A = this chain, B = another copy of it.
Amino acid sequence: MTEAQLTSEIRRKKTFLCIGLDTDLEKIPKFLRSSKDPLFAFNKAIIDATHDLCVAYKPNTAFYEAYGSAGWQALERTIAYLNESYPDHFTIADAKRGDIGNTSGRYARAFFEAMAFDSVTVAPYMGRDSVEPFLAFDNKFVILLALTSNAGAFDFQTLPTPEEALYLQVLRKTREYAHAERLMYVIGATKASFLKEVREIVPDQFLLIPGVGAQGGSLQDVCKYGLNSRVGLLVNSSRGIIYASNEADFAEAAREKAKALQQQMGRVLRDLKI
């Protein structure tokens, strides 16, 4: 998928919603747990019920790895189903990987080739040669952690360095990486006021904004500071949507939550004429 295609889907569907598939056996409806592959059964139902309200899906690998190779198979089935049934959706492997060069190359193969995700989240701590192997793939994207939505973000990410806070240095230095045009960035929604500074360094890049909903971020603030002329935002909600109900109506309830966010987003895009 290209960035232009993603923007075009956002305009067509009037939504920049990303739905996080943080699928947890303990939280899904009890009646699903006896199915052969409950993680996939849950994901498929959520995807089928919400696909017209969002432009992206983001499974977080931790929730699948917790169930060993059976969990990994559920992740493989989920991305295969998305690519087959909803090829116009942007897919994000929320894996937060990063290693020395030849090893990052292996992770890139895992997520871009073995599973054919459009993008993967990557941690910046190990620097250029840990990120560039992911950037070497045509029409694939790296979504780099810059400022995350958790309390621990203030441990290191906001530390002053001679030029500016560390997360701003991450943005600035990575603009020089090979194929930096394939970089997007994670900016936590709980810190929307930081988006102004972020946009000064990366005016054109897509930002993935987690933390709206369960983690307490405000959509209005995010839009005010984060939108650009090509939209440039993917706003993620996971638990707030997928666990709206754990009864038989779980998919319908998820749809209602997704629809409320889609409608808010549609209003913002209309009001700002983006």
Contact = CB atoms under 8 A, between A and B. Distances in A.
Interface in A130-160: 130-131, 145, 148-157, 159-160
A166 B157 contact: no
A167 to B, nearest CB: 9
Contacts of A153: 126-127
B160 A103 contact: no
Given A68-B72, A98-B123, A103-B22, A152 B169 contact: no
- Stoichiometry, as copies per complex, reads 2
Most buried by B among A72, A145, A151: A72
Contacts of A156: 124-125, 127, 166, 169-170, 173
Given A72-B68, A103-B22, A155-B173, A126 B110 contact: no
Contact of A123 (B96, B100, B101): B96
Interface in A41-73: 60, 62-63, 65-69, 71-73
A104 interface: yes
A106 interface: yes
A151 B125 contact: no
A32 to B, nearest CB: 19
A215 B104 CA distance: 16
Contacts of A60: 99, 103, 106
Nearest to A129: B152
A97 interface: yes
A162 B162 CA distance: 8
A211 to B, nearest CB: 9
Interface residues of A, number: 57
A3 B124 CA distance: 30
Most buried by B among A153, A154, A160: A153
A152 B123 contact: no
A177 to B, nearest CB: 10
Contacts of A154: 127
A16 to B, nearest CB: 21
A166 B153 CA distance: 14
A69 B66 contact: no
A24 B157 CA distance: 34
Q: Closest 7 A-B residue pairs measured CB to CB?
A: A127-B152, A127-B155, A62-B106, A65-B110, A100-B150, A69-B72, A66-B106
